Structure 1
Amino acid sequence: MKNWYVVYTKPKWEKKVAEKLSEIGIECYCPLITQIKQWSDRKKKVEVPLFNSYVFVQLEDIDRNSVFQISGVIRYLFWLGKPAIVKDSEIDIIKTSLKAPNISDISVTSVQIGDRIKLESGAFNNQNAIVQEISNTHCILVLESLGCVLKIKYK
């Protein structure tokens, strides 16, 4: 059975790695977003990877080492001691979301314990929170202005 794995690449090599993987017959996906870059003399629309240094590859477990033929591939992303596997549905969600016509800006950032964040949707929209705990099943946020703790469970 083919699974989607996450390959970690050299910085700024995502598009090159995806192109080379496709050339040797490995199905891959490097989600791209269009940004407007400002230089001193001009503005230009450029496609940049949504996830820095990540390319998704779909292959059999026994074929995982074949990606290391490509210059720029560093390693696989691991989760709980095993290569991280991304569900087909999650890849589909990324693809569908990037095609949505009403999206004007997307950014991906990692969250660490102690970070102060602002919730941007849902029942607690516009509330500031402090990340207290992150696990593979849930996240706990402290909403100081409301005097409560919010636990978000993942599906």
Structure 2
Amino acid sequence: MNKIAVESDVRKERSSFVNGTNDREAYPKRWVAALVHTNCEKKVATKLEKLGIENYVAIQKEEHQWSDRKKKIDRIVIPMVVFVRLAKDEEDEFRRLPFIMKFITYPGAEELATPIPDEQIEQIQFLLKHSESPVTFSAHIEIGDAVRIVKGPLKGFIGHCCGMSNSEIAIHLALLGYATTHVPKDYIEKIIM
């Protein structure tokens, strides 16, 4: 490069500074969670890679035993979720992709997408890579939340969480008064009523 071209690049770099940052620093990339269609996580990740978009699907390798053989499979740990690393100004355009349903955000959040700290993504990756037992994720359920039982003999029942312990949850049965039953946490899902 000649001296004039170098000086021109330096001037462009200086002129791109706004409030002490340049364009790349003004919108740093951050992880966000995108909701995709069921069983499409790997396909979406492949499409995003072709578009040059950094992404991560929470997958854990598991060995399954059949009567005649063993096979290692990839199990999607967080169904319908693809983590994507985007700058805030890229989110609106990303949302328009036909295979992205929406961003996952906190209820009432004003931002288009709720950022996820890099450390949390790194912790998920480490946990899934090194855990010897299956890793499961469950919704954060608090006392008073409406819940639906999704497995077992009470499947379909709707109630309210009224207490928790390490392996069970108590459900308030509205029609019967304050009765409780214990249901394993992985048998329930939080619902919005």
Is the pair's TM-score, using the shorter chain for normalization, greater than 0.5?
Answer: yes
| Regions of 4+ moved over 2 Å | 34-45, 65-72, 109-113, 115-118, 127-132
Cα distance, 1:109–1:71 mapped onto 2, change above 3 Å? same
CA distance in 2, matches of 1:68, 1:95: 24
Q: 2:126 is matched with which residue?
A: 96
SS, match of residue 65 in structure 1: helix
Q: TM-score, normalised by structure 2?
A: 0.54
Q: TM-score, normalised by structure 1?
A: 0.66
Q: 1:48 is matched with which residue?
A: 75
Shift of 1:49: 1.5
What is the percent sequence identity of the aligned residues?
A: 26
Contact 1:117–1:131 (Cα < 8 Å) also in 2: no
CA distance in 1, matches of 2:92, 2:55: 14
CA distance in 1, matches of 2:104, 2:46: 19
Question: Could you list the runs of 5+ residues in structure 2 that have no partner in the other structure?
Answer: 1-27, 146-160, 173-181, 183-193
Q: 1:10 is matched with which residue?
A: 37
CA deviations 1:95-120 (Å, max 9, x no partner) are 111122x522112222543187651x
Question: Could you list the runs of 5+ residues in structure 1 that have no partner in the other structure?
Answer: 120-126, 133-143, 145-155
Q: How many residue pairs align between the two structures?
A: 125
CA deviations 1:79-100 (Å, max 9, x no partner) are 1333221101100111111122
Structure (1 or 2) with the greater strand fraction: 1
SS, match of residue 138 in structure 2: coil
Structure number with larger C-alpha Rg: 2
Shift of 1:11: 0.4
Structure (1 or 2) with the greater helix fraction: 2
